[in-house]
Structures are given as structure tokens and as C-alpha cells.
Structure 1
Amino acid sequence: MTPASLRTMNLGHLLDQTARRLPDLPAMIWGGRRWTWAQMRGRVDAMARLLAQDYGIGKGDRVLVQSPNNNQMWESLWACLKLGAIWVPANFRGAPDDLRWMVELAQPKLLICEAGFPDHAAACDLPTLAIGQAGFGPDLDAALAGHDDAPLRAADVARDDPAWLFFTSGSTGKPKAAVLTHGQMGFVIANHLADLIPGTSEADASLVVAPLSHGAGIHQMLQVARGAVTILPGGPGFDPAEIWRLVAAHRVSNMFTVPTIVKLLTEHPAVDAHDHSSLRHVIYAGAPMYRADQIRALQKLGPVLVQYFGLGEVTGCITVLPARLHEAGEGWALEGSCGFPRLGIQIEIQDDDGNPLPPGETGELCVTGGAVFAGYWRNPEANAKSFRDGWFRTGDLGHMDARGFFYLTGRESDMFISGGSNIHPREIEEKLLLHPDVVECAVLGMPDPTWGEVGVAICVTRDGSAPDLATWLGPKIARYKLPRRFLFWEALPKSGYGKITKKLVREELLRRDALAGADG
């Protein structure tokens, strides 16, 4: 029996409570299909019985999911929660070998795989349910027909019982699986509702523009808690014109995304062709947003931007910069800030020995509080490296000002040392993006026999031109920070979550340099 002091609410009750209170209101709209809260609750409970009775899934068992966004993929989360099982969603853009490695790490009992991924299903020696008609397993919807959809009591859980294995984006090495628990996630959902989308109710609508397997899935759990309808785009890929059409058609009030997507949405002509006045919260996270892109988005959308800084390990719950603290004007007092600490979260800037640093000094951002994850799944080495004296070490460098606002300089792994001086690429990238022709850029350190490392700036311009950025940037930055090379590419490589990652940029740079050397 779970001691009363450790017992917590099973997250699956969020769906039960909303379905009981708002049975006939829409829960999800996907293209021409829609499901009420009562219908979704019924499908989830039928799926939970299917998993338990036909596949032996119970408390603590892992269920691996390989699928793009759709209603069945989303329902599988809630079915797992109700059973006390652990949801293990993959980035659907990953390769079959990536999924095979996840099987080795998580040891799931079942794979739920969308019909368009037969090679992924074949890579996993697991019982498999198919989303759609497929040759590798029973169709999930057809299988549900044989199972009772009456309300199912959720399993009893403790605060530290795992609910979700959240795979990091893997900017260095293989992704790690962060263990998100029922108690932790209950804190995060309440915190997100308070800090990110206050006042949300069943009158609201939320549009999904990112994979539900990661941050967007966390965000949509907030909508379930408050009864707001979730809108899924109907097309297979990212289409800004469809996004803005859906915002207007459904009076969308909030959406979660990343800076790259905000940039694409606000630069697309469709932003001016559709009514987006219903938007109250456009939440961006995953990376700081360049100032030039912030200004453009604020000019197009008005004061609706909400920034939060957080990692998967802290479930996005470290700092917040609310809409009221975003301004479009020059000389903005909080330029470059990722905000102040989230409710119930403590942050320190620490030196290499774990000592707190005073305002203005740069160090590693470390965090403690109810949103911090339970550790990495079966990875004691990573846990030992990531925790110190009860603090989670984010690996992000930054400083705090006298009022308690935080500013990120970059990742520890991004910083490079040239001629004995520490150089943080973020500062250089911010300035480069103020050039009228530069739309994307990445600065990284590369080996140099004289200086140890020198900066290389890889830029994407609007018209494919190659302006003299060294001359333009020279007066705006200390000489030792000026990149020694400026390269111009058609596009920068991005992760499966739409983020520019230095790992991918570095790999592409090395590949191109190697080809150039071979040709020479």
C-alpha cells in the first residue's frame, strides 16, 4: 500500500474530470473529424482495457509509440496513464535504428506504430498495434471495437511513479530518457497553467504545430486539464497557410512552438490574409528567440509572445517571460532575457564548484523544485554528472541581473576559447541577425593551430547573396570575438524538433570541408 504522504493523483484523472464536466464539448478536431470529451474518454478507456487484457500491460510497463500527430497517438498517452504504465513516444522522424535503440533502453512490452512506418515496426521485435491499415499488426481502431468503453478507474500511483519517458533531443551523443513522474507532472501542469496560459478554459482552442511526443504533448495536457479543444492540422507537413487558416476558423487562443516556427509563421504572407486576433498566448521555447525575430513577430501578432526557458528534464519549467514584458521598441530593458523563475522553482548561477555567483557574473544555470525530473532511465553515469547537491545542472551558461531576471549566454558545449578568451556564440549570432539580409546563422569554434580555436559563422541570406559581414560586424563587437570565416549556405540543418543544433551544423561543416579538401 502506498503511504498517504507519497500518494498522488494519477494524471489520467484529468481526462476523467473534464469528460464528466464537459461531456459534449469538443476535445479534439483533426481535419473533418472531431471527438467530444465523452467520446475521447470512452476511446481511452477501451484502449486501456485492450492494452491490459490483450497485451498484459500494467503498472510500470513501457509502451513505445512511433507515430506523427493523430488522435490515436494522443489517446495512447492517456490509456497508459490510466493503467499506471509508462508512455514512451519516439520522435517519428527518427530512423528505424533509433527506434531499435529505444527498445534496448526502455524494454517496452508493446509497440504502437503508425501504418506509414513498416521499417520501424520491423526493427523492433515486439508485439505491435498499428494505427491504420498495415501488414505488421492489428489495426488499433478495429481492436478497440471488442473492448468496453465504460469509465475505468485509474490505477493508484505514488508521486515518483514514472508516467513518461521523455527523450532528450540528443545534441551530443545518443538521446537520454528523462523520467517524468505523476507527481512532477501534476506540478508542471499547474505551473504552466499559471505562468504560461492563465485564464484558459473550455472556451479556448489550442493549435498543435509541433510533435506531441515532446514539448507540444506537455502543452496539450494543459488543454485537457481545462477542457480547451485541441486542433490538429490535417496535412502531413508544416504548412503556414493551413496554420493561419485554422487559427481563424477555430478562433485559436494559444499555441506552443519553437522560435524557428514562429519565424516561419510570421514571415509567411498568409499571416496577413487571415484573422488571428483570437490569439492571446503564442508560447515559444526550446531555444532563445533572436531579437530581430521577436520584433517581427510582435509587429505581426501584437503582444502575445510568451517565452519560457526549460529543458525536457525540467519539463520546460525554469523561467518565464510573459507577454506583458515583451516590447517591440528599441532600447528594450529586458532584451536578451529569458525571464524570471517559474512559480515554485529556485535557480542559481553557480561556478564550477557549485558555489552561487553574484548578479552579473556568468556561470552554469542550476535549478531545483517540483518540476525537476526523477533522473535518466537506466543511466547512472548521466545522473551523477547532471546532479550536484540536489541541484540539476542544466549545462546552460548565463547570468542573473540585480532584479532576478536571467540571461542565457549559451551551452557549455557551445562556448569556445580563442587565444585564451572565452567566446559565447550567442552574442555574435544576435548581432549578425540584425543585418537586413541575414535570416539564419550559427557561430561555432573550430580548431586553429595559432589561436586554439577560431569562430566560424555560417549564414543564410534572404536572396542567397554573400554580403561583407566582417566589415559590417567589426564595429559592433570586440575584435577578438570577430569570426575568422564567414560561410553562406542555402539553409542550416535542423533537428527533428525544428531547432538549429550546433552538432548538426558542425557535422555538415566538417563534411563540406572534407569534400573541399578532397576536391583540392
Structure 2
Amino acid sequence: MTPCSTRTMNLGHLLDQTARRLPDNPAMIWGDARWTWARMRARVDAMARLLARDHGIGKGDRVLVQSANNNQMWESLWACLKLGAIWVPANFRGSPDDLRWMAELSQPKLLICEAEFPDHAAICGLPTLAIGKTDFGPDIETLLSVQDDTPLRAVDVDRDDPAWLFFTSGSTGRPKAAVLTHGQMGFVIANHLADLIPGTTEDDASLVVAPLSHGAGIHQMLQVARGVPTILPNGPFDPAEIWRLVAQYRVSNMFTVPTIVKLLTEHPAVDHHDHSSLRHVIYAGAPMYRVDQVRALEKLGPVLVQYFGLGEVTGCITVLPARLHDAADGWALQGSCGYPRTGIQIEIQDETGQPLPAGQTGELCVTGGAVFAGYWNDPGANAKAFRDGWFRTGDLGHMDQRGFFYLTGRESDMFISGGSNIHPREIEEKLLLHPEVAECAVIGMPDPTWGEVGVAICVTRAGTRPDLAAWLGPRIARYKLPRRILFWDGLPKSGYGKITKKLVREELIRREGLTENG
């Protein structure tokens, strides 16, 4: 049957609806600056008019954005949505070459670039609007005219019209651009509200502790839908300031990654500020090591919410809500990333695409309304990512009898030593139980005898070098023991604060003078 209509809500209406309902409530707080919902809607509409009038931005056009978190960067998302244009945010920590690659792939009509990034602006050679005073482009703020309070009507969109090119974190090769659509994102926002922060209202407050260009931006869209004020910290990540803001604004939810939770709960400031208002501290991007999970639960109470999901599924795969977290020994769900999200179907499949029974390890595959529309201009990647309508995550794991899922690791992280499959995460979990180990990563490297062997890179709390091989020996099967244990001052992290094996491997090769073949 041919559908009668594929029309869907333009996501920009979320801002319009909230501004109509709560015009005088705070929408964003950044230092001494505050914007109400009515003011933010007027600013967004003014920016949209500017983009359309002076740069011809319309439906389907891409707008590339290079900026750290600020109100104008955030407003540019909503201006693009209302015009039907496609928002293409870069991780501001990326290099100029990273931005050039994004421009080559997405072919944007305009660059919006913060004044702090002149080299990024120069390398793209695009018409540019600046955030802040600079000589590489006119400052948006001086061009905005917010005298016209007439709301700008959002353009009509279909379910599959792109809204956001969401660049993957690039764990293998160059980042790919996942196409997030208006219809898909409408599902995601409703799903996140139901599964991650249920009961959220305008009486809550949300603090941003990660780049809005990635998962934190998705999370803040939920706040717009519910009229929750967004609080932006000043300057680089500072745990002391984060805890001060939590106390000052009675913050109830934050989107984080495990590394951020670890830094926040290890910092002395956690004990000096009231954080009793927190109800949902969401961590995603990677499973949290058990030792860090226990510390966070002991410091913050039962507020942790884990979700598992890739950018391609906009986080919507599994959820482990706060009520199912437990700091006790022998916790029944230890290692679980939770159960399927509302409206999402998951299967553990073998290499041929056949579903596997509970307890057997295979690739986690997913289908449902949150799955993206494919990679932008990359048919080869799309062919690999989808099989019989299932999105293949590339993550290995198993399901228990009750439908809870357990991740073993990325398929690309697994290595084979002497014919045995070895999953680094199991070894990393054991190493982190040592009281002196703060961070670690286990990498499979080529070996002429065994095919591959494990190399463990560890960061200790006081720069010590404990005998980890002797400590690890009784705690893990002999064939899984790393052949080498190295000590570094720190592990390289992605722009989103995650420890990625690609970066660790590259640094290991550089330091040891190795090649990919050993």
C-alpha cells in the first residue's frame, strides 16, 4: 500500500512550541548571560532569515559549523532545522585537515566558524560567518536583526529529509557522516525522554559537559522539547566548576561519557558541593569499567543511567536505568549494557546473519525507528553496514535469557592469539581492579609465533610500576595474559573524551618504532 503521506514534523517546531508555552522561562544560561525561550526563538529566526537572505541557504543545503560550545553554535542548529537545511557540526578539537575532509565530503554552502579557529576557516575556502570578532568573516552577532518578533514558519519536511550529518568518531579510518533525518530524530527524542530522563519538566535543569556537536547535542534537544534550561560552563572542562554549577542551578541531568564520570567523581570537588538534585547522570559512548561505576554510585547515589548506541542509531539501542544499577559485590547485571530501547529490536547474529540463542557471542544487530538513513555519499560503507534490513553495529556480545545484553567489545578490537579469540575488555576489567591502575588499554599486535599477542598499556595513579603480570596471573586464563605491559603517563583520547583503540594503537606504533605488521 502506498502511504498517503510521508510528511513529518520539522524538528524546529520543538523550539517554537516551547517558546509559545514558556516564553519567559530560561532557555540557556552561560556565565552571566541568560536567554529566555522567547528570546532564543527570536534569535534563531533572525539567524535563519540571515542565512536564507545573504547566503541562499534553503532546504537540503549543508551548513558546516566549527565551534566550541556557545549559544550561537547551538542556535545555528535550530536555524538550519527551520530552513530545512542540514547541520554539519565538526568536533571543535579536530584539526584543520579534519574540517577540510568534512567539507570535501559534505559540500557545504556555508561555514560558521568561531573566531578561535582561523586556520580551520582558511583551509576550507568557503563563504564564512564568524562567531566573534575576526577578519576571516563577518560576525553573526553584528548582522542579526531580532526586531521582527514574527515567528518564522519552519519549512515542510518529509520523514526521510536529512536534518543533521552526524560524523562518527572514526575508530577505523576517516570519520563517516551518518545521515540523521527529521522523522528518525523525532523518534529518537521521544525515545530518549521515555527511556533516559522520564518525568523531566521545565522545573529541571541540564548541564552540558561534552561537545554539542555529538551526543551532548542530541541530549540537549530533549531539553528544548521539555522546556528545560541548558547551562553551559565557561572555558575548558573543569570538574570544580561543574560541581559548583550543579549545586547553584540544582542540575538534575547531565549527558556524559565514562571518562567524564570518572574525572568528576575522582575530583575532590565532588565532596564540597551539593549534588543531591541529580536524578539522571547518563553515560554512553563506551561501557563503564566496574571500578569506576562503583565509585560513581558511592559518590552520587543511584543516578547512573547507561545507554548503548552508536551515532548511526543515535544512542537508541539499549538502556540500563538507574534503578538497575547496584554497587554491591555480585551484582547480577554486572557488565550488562541493559535491555532493548522502546521500539527497538535487537538480535545477536552469526557471520551469516542468523540469530544466535542466549549465551552465544555474535554481532549485535539492530532495527527500528532510530536507525539512521545511511552514510552520506558512501555506498560502499552502506553495503557493509546493512544486511537484510539490519544495521550491523560491529560490536560483539551476547544476550541472557531475560533479554539483557552484554558487550564483549568491538569486532575490530578482538585479536586471535594461538588460534584463540581474545577480547581486550575482559583483561582491561581485571587490570583496573588493581588499586594503582587508573587507565588501561589492551591492544592485539602482530607476532611471528602466535599470530597476535596482547600488549597492555597502563596509566598508574602515582606514576608507579607495579608487577601487574604477577598480579594478573591468578585472575585470568594464561593464554589471555598480555605478553607485554607498558606504562605511559596518559592514554590518547578522542575529541569526545573516549579512549579509542585506533589512537592507542597509532601511539604504540609510534613509540615502539613498529609497523602495522609488527
Does TM, normalized by the shorter one, top 0.5?
Answer: yes
| Cα pair 1:46 1:150 within 8 Å, conserved | no
Alignment gaps of 5+ in structure 2: none
- What is the alpha-carbon distance in structure 2 between the residues aligned to residue 505 and residue 106 of structure 1? 28
Give the residue type in structure 1 aligned to 2:100. Answer: R
Match of 2:53, SS state, is: helix
Match of 1:220 in 2: 220
| Correspondence for 2:71 | 71
Pairwise CA distance, 1:100 = 1.0
Correspondence for 2:345: 346
Q: Which residue of 1 aligns with 2:46?
A: 46
What's the offset of the Cα at 1:67?
A: 0.2
Q: Is the 8 Å Cα contact of residues 49 and 148 (structure 1) preserved in structure 2?
A: no
Q: Is the 8 A contact 2:456 2:485 kept in 1?
A: yes
Q: Which residue of 2 aligns with 1:148?
A: 148
Match in the other structure for 1:17: 17
| 1:125 counterpart = 2:97 | no
Structure 2 equivalent of residue 163 of structure 1:
163
Determine the structure 2 residue equivalent to 1:442. 441
Partner SS, residue 123 of structure 1: helix
Query: Judging changes above 3 Å, is the alpha-carbon distance between structure 1 residues 463 and 318 closer, same or farther for their aligned structure 2 residues?
Result: same
Q: Matched residues in 1 for 2:412 and 2:94: separation?
A: 24
- Paired AA for residue 87 in structure 2: W
Deviations 1:203-253 (A, max 9, x none): 000000000000000000000000000000012x11000000000000000
TM-score using structure 2 length: 0.98
User: In the alignment, is the contact (CA less than 8 A) between 2:42 and 2:146 conserved in 1?
Assistant: no
Q: How far apart are the structure 2 equivalents of 1:352 and 1:148? A: 58
Is residue 108 of structure 2 the alignment partner of residue 102 of structure 1? no
**1:367-417: CA deviations, max 9, x gaps?**
000000000000000000000000000000000000000000000110000
Identity %: 86
Shift of 1:515: 8.6
- Which residue of structure 1 aligns with residue 279 of structure 2? 280
For residue 363 of structure 1, what is the aligned residue in structure 2? 362
The superposition leaves residues 277-327 of structure 1 with CA deviations (integer Å, 9 ceiling, x where unpaired) of: 000000000000000000000000000000000000000000000000000
Conserved 8 A contact 1:46-1:149: no
Q: Once the two structures are superposed, what CA deviation does each residue of 1:54-82 show, in whole Å capped at 9, x if it has no partner?
A: 10000000000000000000000000000
Structure 2 counterpart of 1:465: 464
Q: 1:179 is matched with which residue?
A: 179
Distance 2:113 2:80 in 1: 15
Match of 1:7 in 2: 7
**2:32 alignment counterpart:** 32
Q: TM-score, structure 1 length as denominator?
A: 0.98
Secondary structure of the structure 2 residue equivalent to 1:459: strand
After superposing the two structures, state which structure 1 stretch, 470-479 or 62-71, moved more: 470-479
Deviation digits for residues 20-43 of structure 1 (CA, Å, limit 9, x no counterpart) = 000000000001100000000000
Question: Which position in structure 2 is the counterpart of 1:138?
Answer: 138
Q: Write the letter of the residue equivalent to 1:100.
A: R
The aligned counterpart of 1:384 is 383
Deviation at 1:145, TM superposition (A): 2.5
In 2, the alpha carbon distance for the partners of 1:3 and 1:202 equals 36
Q: Is residue 2:492 matched to residue 1:476? A: no
Kept in 2, the 8 Å contact 1:50–1:147? The answer is no
Separation in 1, partners of 2:473, 2:325: 29
- State the one-letter code of the partner of 1:440: E
1:489 is matched with which residue? 488
Deviation at 1:148, TM superposition (A): 3.5
What does residue 416 of structure 1 align with? 415
- Residues 308 and 317 of structure 1 are in contact (CA less than 8 Å); yes or no, is this contact kept in structure 2? yes
CA contact (8 A) 1:27 1:40 kept: yes
- Measure the CA separation in 1 of the matches of 2:45 and 2:171: 37
SS at match of 2:14: helix
Shift in Å at residue 146 of structure 1?
A: 7.3
The one-letter code of the counterpart of 1:408 is L
Runs of 4+ that moved beyond 6 A: none
Letter in 1 for 2:157: V
For the Cα contact (< 8 Å) 1:363–1:397, is it kept in 2?
yes
1:413-433 CA distances to partner (integer Å, 9 max, x unpaired)? 100000000000011101110
Residue 367 of structure 1 contacts residue 392 of structure 1 at CA under 8 Å; is this kept in 2? yes
Letter in 2 for 1:349: I
In 1, the alpha carbon distance for the partners of 2:275 and 2:148 equals 41
Task: Give the length in aligned residue pairs.
Answer: 514
Separation (CA, whole Å) in 1 of partners of 2:430 and 2:325: 19
Structure 1 gaps of 5+ residues are none
C-alpha distance in structure 1 between counterparts of 2:69 and 2:148, whole Å = 25
* Distance in structure 1 (CA, Å) of the matches to 2:169 and 2:383: 20
Q: 1:97 to 1:149 in 2, by over 3 A?
A: farther
Q: Does the C-alpha gap of structure 1 residues 218 and 112 become closer, same or farther in structure 2, counting only changes over 3 Å?
A: same
